[in-house]
Amino acid sequence: MRTSEVLASKDDAVTLDSTAERTTEANEDAGERPAGSQVVRAREIHYDYVSGGGSLPVLNGLSLDIAESEIVMLTGPSGSGKTTLLTLIGALRTIQRGSLEVLGKELACASGADRLTLRREIGFVFQTHNLLDALTASQNVSLALELKSVCRENRDKAADALTKVGLGHRLGHRPNAMSIGECQRVSIARAIVNRPRLLLADEPTAALDNKSTERMLAMFRDLVDAEGCSMIAVTHDPRTMDVADRIIAMDDGRLHPGTPL
């Protein structure tokens, strides 16, 4: 796929040739959006990893808007900062410089308690599925609902989420008795069981065959359309692009030049 195609929104084809005009329009649009319609508003974010006296700049003044009910696919070369951005949006890392508003909460000055509250409204699908081996599929998903008890209602919700991802017949299986793709689907069920307002996914289809990928993508679309949640997925998987409302390319810690905000 050519870069200009990667940068094309489904509704509004954008090519690199019309960069300046489009970016200006996008900036104006972003400014005019009514309050509340944006789920993510990032401005001039910088992020460096610091270790052993050295510092690695990873995000270099990135700005971005994500609207309600939008599915955004985040692409770009390895090391361009996609996962770092996702973890900042998910309040899993602390923003160092710039402004980042997620679900109406500014994270630049948020307390630990505020970040925890925000995280409860977000569903995460990690690159590694992070399931607990000692628990069944149903228990792993229930855990996202309520840490202190695995009550009947939560079990039903977990079963419902697992059925949505095609694992209604695997409720009692433990991760080590399931394939990598099945574990990945359990982690997707865990991410959606709380009916999150924002779903963040890192390579959600990497371990899935074509049939499961199709099913997951249709489910993401339904979730976004029916519940008004938004989704940001880091992906290299060309199979996911059709479901995207917008495909954003990152390069060297910024949006690729010419990408509308």
Ligand X SMILES: Nc1ncnc2c1ncn2[C@@H]1O[C@H](COP(=O)(O)OP(=O)(O)OP(=O)(O)O)[C@@H](O)[C@H]1O
* Least Å from the CB of residue 130 to ligand X: 16
- Is residue 162 within 8 A of residue 168, CB to CB? The reply is yes
Q: SS3 for 165? A: coil
Q: By C-beta, is 162 or 248 nearer to ligand X?
A: 248
Q: If binding is defined by CB under 6 A, does position 56 make contact with ligand X?
A: yes
DSSP state of 256: P
* Least Å from the CB of residue 78 to ligand X: 3
Which residues, 6 or more positions from 53, have their beta carbon under 8 angstroms from its beta carbon?
none
Give the torsion through C-alpha atoms of 40, 119, 122, 91, to 10 deg.
40
* Least Å from the CB of residue 45 to ligand X: 12
Q: By C-beta, is 75 or 212 nearer to ligand X?
A: 75
Residues in 144-203 that interact with ligand X by CB under 6 A: none
Residue type, 167: L
Q: By C-beta, is 24 or 96 nearer to ligand X?
A: 96
215 vs 202: CA distance, rounded Å: 17
Residues in 62-91 that interact with ligand X by CB under 6 A: 76, 78-84
Q: Which of 45, 58, 125, 131 binds ligand X (CB under 6 A)?
A: 58
Strands, DSSP E only, in 68-121? 71-75, 97-102, 105-106
Q: What do you get for the CA distance between the two ends of the chain, in Å?
A: 21
Q: Segment near ligand X (CB under 6 A), from 7-15, 48-56, 177-185, 216-224? A: 48-56
* Least Å from the CB of residue 28 to ligand X: 29
* Least Å from the CB of residue 66 to ligand X: 17
Tell me the backbone φ, ψ of residue 231, rounded to 5 degrees: -135, 135
* Least Å from the CB of residue 170 to ligand X: 28
Q: By C-beta, is 87 or 117 nearer to ligand X?
A: 87
CB atoms within 10 A of CB 57: 13
Q: By C-beta, is 46 or 173 nearer to ligand X?
A: 46
Q: By C-beta, is 234 or 243 nearer to ligand X?
A: 234
Number of helices (H), then strands (E), in the chain:
8, 10
Q: Which residues bind ligand X (CB under 6 A)?
A: 49, 51, 56, 58, 76, 78-84, 234
